[in-house]
Structure 1
């Protein structure tokens, strides 16, 4: 299903996106050495419910997971990159943490993810991973406008990732979003320009470049959810929900300006 939102629905999408951006920004600022992943999940739950929103994850039970997910946020550490199931783990200095959050407010969903390093340590390879996914996301957003094709966006993302020397996994990528979290069209993290669905105003997309340092192969934890690099190498994942408008792609999940 591909949804094209009305102007009223786009206004609601902006509110949902602002909530997601605010929650992720708040969680990042609260996270310290010694913070437990389950504590982050509790913080996310409180903020979602206080806002009158609904988690897209708690009851999420796709074919590839061992559902329902049962938590309010994905927390992936170091070699974990996607669908990180919160568990009893206290963050250490230098851990690379990814927070991935999707909520629905007033019938419209938004989805975003941030990767950052905990504490004072700044391993150069980890910094490069995060910065590369951020640059790839910016390139994908710049390529997303009315009349562009999904392949144009995928190619822009993949050019940055491969140009930095990272292998690219095409199993999971960006997606349409609207009244539900996952919709068509699929946006791979690499592709051929000029191919795929033509973008039009009113379309929402969740674009999410992610990489693993030295492999394109994933393995699944015994929890049935958490996806890790097959080699144990570190990973990073950055995501925004954007709205296609007459003038380009509007980012909906930015952190608050203040």
Structure 2
């Protein structure tokens, strides 16, 4: 059952999402060859708690960490380790936080040093597909419209669209209805309703869409060991249109990137 939120609840969810946004922005300043994902995990937990919030992943489904850090061929759910990141790696950092009883949950795939051109292109297309999907989250559309848009765009570039892992509704629970696949058929699935809040998160592979789980019980990797990218935003349906609750602005500030990609999805000015 889809749980629509009041305007007041949506604003509380925005605060939770921005805890995550600021955390990812802080981590962006720390990312460089030689840093370990365990170090990033410690920084993130301390930073989230300093914002009067609680790590959203830690303990959820027995998750042992604050961050999920997926390096190179890892798609999602990578556990932090003591292995140093190296030049040419990519790392998808997925982070959650709870504030005011609501979850924020979003992700960004970072480049470490000089990344191969084909990998850089994968990240670009995957992030573009995120906004293409968000654009379809509007009054009158259905779950399949978002999934179709993401799938169509990514497959035209020759990439594999993961089927087994999906986006989801978001609110007082990390995972609410509906599931939000990154593939589908137009006009199919549950209809979007005013006030619903979701996490849209393309998980796109450079090669095959096939995946497998490692023996740690968490990390999901591509079967062909080629890189995978993951980007995620929290979005609410407000006045029939998608309203971003999360932002990559803090990441871009840290990395010196100028972007207006979020402008069309933000009815309210972002509070820095």
Q: TM-score, normalised by structure 2?
A: 0.89
Work out whether residues 178 and 204 of structure 1, in 8 Å CA contact, stay in contact via their aligned partners in 2.
Answer: yes
Q: Which residue of 2 aligns with 1:83?
A: 77
Contact 2:194 2:239 (C-alpha < 8 Å) held by counterparts: yes
1:173 matches 2:166: yes
* Shift, 1:213, TM fit: 1.3
Aligned counterpart, 2:215? 222
| 1:250 counterpart SS class | strand
Q: CA deviation at 1:161?
A: 1.1
CA distance in 2, matches of 1:139, 1:108: 26
Counterpart of 1:72 (choices 48, 66, 69) is: 66
Aligned residues: 251
After the TM superposition, which segments of 4 or more aligned residues of structure 1 sit over 6 Å from their partners?
none
Q: Kindly indicate whether the alpha-carbon contact (under 8 Å) linking 1:200 and 1:245 is maintained by their aligned counterparts in 2.
A: no
How does 1:1-258 map onto structure 2 within 5 Å? Answer: 1-61=1-61, 68-119=62-113, 121-256=114-249
The Cα shift of 1:255 comes to: 3.2
Note the C-alpha offset of 1:178. Answer: 0.5
SS in structure 2 of the partner of residue 137 of structure 1:
helix
Equivalent-residue separation in structure 2 for 1:58 and 1:110 (angstroms): 13
CA distance in 1, matches of 2:168, 2:244: 15
Q: CA deviation at 1:60?
A: 1.6
Shift of 1:16: 1.1
Where in structure 2 are there 5+ consecutive unaligned residues?
254-272
Q: CA deviation at 1:156?
A: 0.9
What value does the CA root-mean-square deviation take over the aligned residues? 1.2
Aligned to 2:182, the other structure's residue is in SS state coil
* Shift, 1:7, TM fit: 1.3
CA-to-partner distance for each residue in 1:137-158, whole Å, 9 max, x for gaps?
A: 0100111112211111111111
Can you give the 5+ residue segments of structure 1 that lack an aligned partner in the other structure? Answer: 62-67
Q: Is the 8 A contact 1:13 1:252 kept in 2?
A: yes
1:247 CA drift (Å): 4.2
Tell me if structure 2 keeps the 8 A contact 1:18–1:255.
no
Q: Secondary structure at the match of 2:86?
A: coil
Task: Give the structure 1 partner of residue 263 of structure 2.
Answer: none
Give the Cα separation in 1 of the matches to 2:234 and 2:169.
9
From the superposition, tell whether residues 256 and 168 of structure 1 become closer, same or farther in structure 2 (CA, over 3 Å).
Answer: closer
The 2-side partners of 1:10 and 1:252 are apart by 8
Asked whether the 8 Å contact 2:87–2:115 carries over to 1, the reply is no
Whole-Å separation in 1 of the counterparts to 2:25 and 2:159: 27
Partner secondary structure for residue 222 of structure 1: coil
